[in-house]
Structure 1
Amino acid sequence: MDWKPDRNVKKPIYKQIVEYIEQGISSGLFPGDSLLPSERALAKELNVNRSTVVSAYEELQSLGIVDRKKGSGTRVSTDIWGIAHKRIPNWGRYVEDGSFLPNLPLVQKIRTEIQKNNLVNLASGELSAGLMPTEAFQNILSNQPFLGSLGYDHQQGNEALRHTLVSHVREYKEINTNSSSILITSGAQQALHLIVECLLKPGDAVAIEDPSYCYSLPLFQSAGLRTFLLPVDKHGANPEDLMALHKKHRIRMVFLNPDYQNPTGTIMNISRRKKFLEISTELGIPIIEDDPYSLTSFNGEVNPTLKSLDTNGNVLYVSSLSKIVASGLRIGWIIGPSQVIQRLADAKQQVDFGHSVFPQWIANEFLGSEYVHSHIKTIRTQLKLRRDEIVLGLEEVMDDQIEFLTPAGGIHLWCRIKATINEHKLLEESINNGVVFVPGSILGSNNGYIRFTFGRGELGLIRQGITRFAESFNILRKS
């Protein structure tokens, strides 16, 4: 046998053996009813452990490709291509070979764990049910009958909602736009996917903040992009770092979250905002501004968005109702040049034939109602109470073992653990003790950080969660 497994690739050796034998059967190298080498002989020939060959033969057997009998060896099935034989697709291989990458295993684990009711959830980046305007929605549904069509809507999204958003972003964000420059999306997540898939190509270099929510997203890798990091300090990302990256890598696009950044909670200062816009204009680099949190400002002052300062059309502005109204509505939007919006709308139409009509109607009724102002005030007050509870809790039970910057808005608290500790083991111990958070490695390149999210927790439970975390921390530190 001339073939040998390649030990330099990530694919397990037993799977390489499976593929080799499958190809050999297809090419006639291993005819039907032919006897394959014994486990011991093949292991010796390929210089692998016998258990590796056993795993390969077992998978081939599960697929109906070989027959195995104790004492008789492993033979190629005689009816592998026959009518009587039913072959089951190798779904495991299909799952592995798809070009759209899965979430990181740790992200998947956290999402699985937060479904358990006995956990205090300090991980999910959403509002608790008690912070959503449920009563307002009930009044809208009771007093305002839906009279629209349930057929396909405009590919950019419902026209009435887009007109309402024009007024909304002008009043709250000082962004001047028109309905033809807005695309309704299924939350900000779909907006980012559309931008990456439609406006970039494999091999393009993009700059993202470090740490950031974007760091955790596999969509950049799925699209074949090269990502480069902009370190975030207490004033946000530094535009000078973008200049340095561009000189080396010719950055094609930059992704920024200027207000109450996820996960650090920092606010990019005004001078840096203006400098990023200057660089964007000078070098022709588009800026993707992700703005889910600016309306949560605890003092009621909303900072000027990059889009409101943009006089040249260099910024694609992404926002949603997920962090200020309800994540389940799945209402997000992109504001940008008309030709870009048309391109993204065409792609969205290919994916889902346009956004669902009913949630757009509810969102339009809510944003155009008297409920909006009072709801935003309530959100600010309630989130500040939750922030204060988590901050006071950490100060009391963690003493000087942890440090953080107290955010002035948003829903996240970014913490550095001073002791050297394995954050994965800390998460495992915390889950066992009834609380879940997000390890910092999911969101950034530096070790020793964790993110607590206080928007999802209820008052009282947040403090309980921090107490459980501290207990887990102390157990792990002493072990």
Structure 2
Amino acid sequence: MNWQPDTSSHIPLFKQIIQYIENGIVTGHMFPGERLPSERELASKWGINRSTVNLAYAELRATGLIKSVQGSGTKVSEDLWGITPRRSPNWKDYVNGGLFLPNQPVAQRVKELLRDESYINLASSELAEELIPVAWMDQLLKQISLKHAVQYGEPGGDRGLRETIADHMQAEHKVEVQPEQILITSGIQQAFNLIIQCLLSPGDAIALERPSFMYSRTIFTASGLRLYPIPVDDYGIRPEEIRKLHSHHKLRMIFVNPTYQHPTGTTLPADRRRKLLEIAEELRIPIIEDDPYSLLTLGGSPAAPPSLLAMHNGGDFVIYLGTLSKIAAPGLRIGWMVAPKSVVERLTAAKEQMDFSTSALSQQLAKAYLSSPEWKGRLQIITRQLTRRRDIMLDALTKYMPRGSKWIIPEGGYYLWVKLPFKVSDSRLVEECIRHRVLLYPGTVYGAISNQIRLVYSRASEEELGEGIRRLSLALQSSL
């Protein structure tokens, strides 16, 4: 802590200390579990009365940002779900009036190296280049006229693509929707942004799976939303927990990724899906169903249960989010939202203010892709390759990981979730992995407790996967 309180400021010293530590925590410069100096140490360092530091620490403990344990000292809370500093519920002040907060330092450290091919990449949530049907997509592009593809498109999306998506939802998810219920977005991320900015307000409480990739999206916390976790076990969330959360926090929305969940790879069984829908309808809480992976069922696995939207018969409690990023190519930046017409109209107006429209050329390519009778065959090739990669990683985990390690075997998607038999510092593990030239994200990036890691088998080559796990095992040994 090189910072020093300003004794000449009109702001009381204890409030300066609170603001400094709050800012360090919410921007990620002080990470969960980090030990803080004692009150005595800080009072001595800053040359101020110890009671001033005591008062600041007491305020921070009351907000849940820090905790003190007798004999262990004071540290940043390892569980920041649902916590928003009282003086800055929107957090915009921390980034000079902007909306997006910086990435967590641990995550940013990995991101800086993702395009360096000298590292084995077990971190990127994308298909390996050799799995993307580039040659076939190039042929599709040659069939597209540029006459309209270089102009601004309709804010809600090209009518032809929305009709194609409606056919796709009927064929793949057994849901009948009208084109007017579909909004084309620049990937699922934009759909989240639109929902947060248009349908929620700062201070609203939302429920997320824990762990969840959405926890790592700073747009949620930057918008002043209060995040509350629904615990995830080997079968996804436990829906009954929603009643408890709602009774305490009055939830406004539930965000779930029920099929081949990111980051754990779990799939919510049909009985839990029915229970989730029953509770949400009873409490009148909308569900946002994030569904990027459900068509990526791996070989030897049962078919995924129907989507929440399908089980709800297209009812108005579920907003469904789909994308081509995971089943075709991430660079297309084509996603879609299925929602009640009134919601689509509201978000379409906001999207027009945001970016006029999604790339017309990408929309034409997406329409050609999904309209082609060949696309299902291309998808089968991808799932076969993903199955092989998953199995290679599973074999390597069995061979190299420390005794007592556990992992969930995914039936689809991209991810393997590993629980270690011991605790390890996230920052130390990441640095040791970098030293051994392998990249991954620790579980705390996704709101999990420490000693859990997310591994991705979709990005690295088959030859790299086993070697990557071997290097991970060496990094773990070095981290202890």
Matching residue of 2:256:
256
The match for 1:301 among 300, 303, 310 is 303
2:17 maps to 1:8: yes
Q: Residues of 2 paired with 1:2 and 1:139: CA distance?
A: 66
Aligned length: 403
Q: Residues of 1 paired with 2:143 and 2:181: CA distance?
A: 31
Matching residue of 2:399:
396
Letter of the structure 2 residue corresponding to residue 379 of structure 1: I
2:108 maps to 1:108: yes
Q: Residues of 2 paired with 1:473 and 1:215: CA distance?
A: 25
Matching residue of 1:339:
342
Letter of the structure 1 residue corresponding to residue 311 of structure 2: L
2:362 maps to 1:353: no
Matching residue of 1:220:
220
| Contact kept in structure 2, 1:441 and 1:447, CA below 8 Å | yes
3-state SS of paired residue (1:113) = coil
- Structure 2 counterparts to residues 428-443 of structure 1, below 5 A: 428-443=431-446
Q: Residues of 2 paired with 1:212 and 1:223: CA distance?
A: 18
Q: Residues of 1 paired with 2:94 and 2:124: CA distance?
A: 30
Q: TM-score under structure 2 normalisation?
A: 0.80
Q: Residues of 2 paired with 1:135 and 1:153: CA distance?
A: 26
Letter of the structure 2 residue corresponding to residue 8 of structure 1: I
| Contact kept in structure 1, 2:144 and 2:365, CA below 8 Å | no
Q: Residues of 2 paired with 1:449 and 1:123: CA distance?
A: 14
Letter of the structure 2 residue corresponding to residue 200 of structure 1: L
1:402 positional shift: 1.7
Misfit runs of 4+, over 4 Å: 93-97
| Contact kept in structure 2, 1:215 and 1:442, CA below 8 Å | yes
1:366 positional shift: 0.8
2:386 maps to 1:383: yes
1:178 positional shift: 1.0
Letter of the structure 2 residue corresponding to residue 101 of structure 1: L
| Contact kept in structure 2, 1:187 and 1:333, CA below 8 Å | yes
* Residues 283/451 of structure 1: CA separation in 2 closer, same or farther (3 Å cut): same
Q: TM-score under structure 1 normalisation?
A: 0.80
3-state SS of paired residue (2:240) = helix
* Residues 407/149 of structure 1: CA separation in 2 closer, same or farther (3 Å cut): closer
Matching residue of 2:37:
none
Moved more, 141-150 or 455-464: 141-150
Per-residue Cα deviation, 1:205-254 (whole angstroms, up to 9, x for no partner): 10000001011111111111111100001111111000111111111100
Letter of the structure 1 residue corresponding to residue 337 of structure 2: I
| Contact kept in structure 1, 2:119 and 2:439, CA below 8 Å | yes
Letter of the structure 2 residue corresponding to residue 452 of structure 1: L
1:423 positional shift: 2.7
Q: Residues of 1 paired with 2:151 and 2:219: CA distance?
A: 31
Letter of the structure 2 residue corresponding to residue 186 of structure 1: S
2:410 maps to 1:407: yes
1:376 positional shift: 1.2
Per-residue Cα deviation, 1:33-81 (whole angstroms, up to 9, x for no partner): xxxxxxxxxxx9x958xxxxxxxxxxxxxxxxxxxxxxxxxxxxxxxxx
* Residues 351/416 of structure 1: CA separation in 2 closer, same or farther (3 Å cut): same
Show structure 1 runs of 5+ residues with no match: 14-43, 49-92
1:95 positional shift: 4.3
* Residues 471/210 of structure 1: CA separation in 2 closer, same or farther (3 Å cut): same
Matching residue of 2:30:
none
Q: Residues of 1 paired with 2:425 and 2:375: CA distance?
A: 44
Matching residue of 1:206:
206
1:141 positional shift: 2.2
Matching residue of 1:133:
133
Moved more, 400-409 or 137-146: 137-146
3-state SS of paired residue (2:305) = coil
* Residues 143/352 of structure 1: CA separation in 2 closer, same or farther (3 Å cut): closer
| Contact kept in structure 2, 1:126 and 1:323, CA below 8 Å | yes
| Contact kept in structure 2, 1:173 and 1:302, CA below 8 Å | no
Q: Residues of 2 paired with 1:401 and 1:421: CA distance?
A: 14
Letter of the structure 2 residue corresponding to residue 98 of structure 1: G
Letter of the structure 1 residue corresponding to residue 17 of structure 2: N
1:147 positional shift: 4.1
Letter of the structure 1 residue corresponding to residue 322 of structure 2: S
Moved more, 132-141 or 206-215: 132-141
Moved more, 292-301 or 190-199: 292-301
* Residues 470/339 of structure 1: CA separation in 2 closer, same or farther (3 Å cut): same
Q: Residues of 2 paired with 1:237 and 1:286: CA distance?
A: 16
3-state SS of paired residue (1:465) = helix
3-state SS of paired residue (2:20) = coil
Per-residue Cα deviation, 1:336-360 (whole angstroms, up to 9, x for no partner): 0000011111111101011110000
3-state SS of paired residue (1:227) = strand
The match for 2:474 among 471, 474, 477 is 471
1:444 positional shift: 2.0
- Structure 2 counterparts to residues 263-342 of structure 1, below 5 A: 263-298=263-298, 299=301, 301-311=303-313, 312-342=315-345
1:12 positional shift: 8.1
Per-residue Cα deviation, 1:80-121 (whole angstroms, up to 9, x for no partner): xxxxxxxxxxxxx98455343222222222110112121111
Per-residue Cα deviation, 1:112-161 (whole angstroms, up to 9, x for no partner): 01121211110011111111111111111234444435222111111111
Letter of the structure 2 residue corresponding to residue 295 of structure 1: L
| Contact kept in structure 2, 1:183 and 1:333, CA below 8 Å | yes
| Contact kept in structure 2, 1:300 and 1:380, CA below 8 Å | no
The match for 2:428 among 421, 425, 430 is 425
Letter of the structure 1 residue corresponding to residue 223 of structure 2: A
Letter of the structure 2 residue corresponding to residue 325 of structure 1: A
Q: Residues of 2 paired with 1:389 and 1:138: CA distance?
A: 31
3-state SS of paired residue (2:196) = helix
3-state SS of paired residue (2:252) = strand
2:373 maps to 1:373: no
Matching residue of 1:53:
none
Show structure 2 runs of 5+ residues with no match: 1-7, 23-43, 49-92
| Contact kept in structure 2, 1:180 and 1:338, CA below 8 Å | yes
Per-residue Cα deviation, 1:433-477 (whole angstroms, up to 9, x for no partner): 110001001112311100001111111111111111111112233
Q: Residues of 2 paired with 1:295 and 1:338: CA distance?
A: 26
RMSD (Å), alpha carbons? 2.1
Q: Residues of 2 paired with 1:130 and 1:326: CA distance?
A: 11
Q: Residues of 1 paired with 2:344 and 2:404: CA distance?
A: 48
Q: Residues of 1 paired with 2:252 and 2:478: CA distance?
A: 47
Letter of the structure 2 residue corresponding to residue 277 of structure 1: L
Letter of the structure 1 residue corresponding to residue 16 of structure 2: R
